[in-house]
Amino acid sequence: MKKMIEQREIEVNEEGYLLDFSQWDKEIGEKLAEEQNIILTDKHWEVIEYLQDKHRKEEALSIRGIKKSGVINIKEFYSLFPGGPLKKSTLIAGIPKPKSCI
Give me the pLDDT at residue 23, please: 94
Task: Please answer whether residues 80 and 72 qualify as being in contact, where contact means their C-beta atoms are separated by less than 8 angstroms.
Answer: yes
Among all residues, which ones are annotated catalytic?
101
- The closest alpha carbon to 64, from 17, 98, 29, 21, belongs to 98
pLDDT tier at 5, thresholds 50, 70, 90: confident
What predicted TM-score, i.e. pTM, was given to this entire model? Answer: 0.92
Locate the domains of the chain by residue range: 2-93
Distance CA 42, CA 27 (A): 14
How would DSSP label each residue in 46-66? HHHHHHHHHHHTT----HHHH
- 99 versus 10: which is more confidently predicted? 10
Q: Is pLDDT at 100 greater than 80 in this prediction?
A: no
More confident residue, 2 or 49: 49
For 50-69, write each residue's pLDDT tens digit: 999 999 999 989 888 898 99
pLDDT digits 0-9 by tens, 14-52: 999 999 999 999 999 999 999 999 999 999 999 999 999
More confident residue, 66 or 98: 66
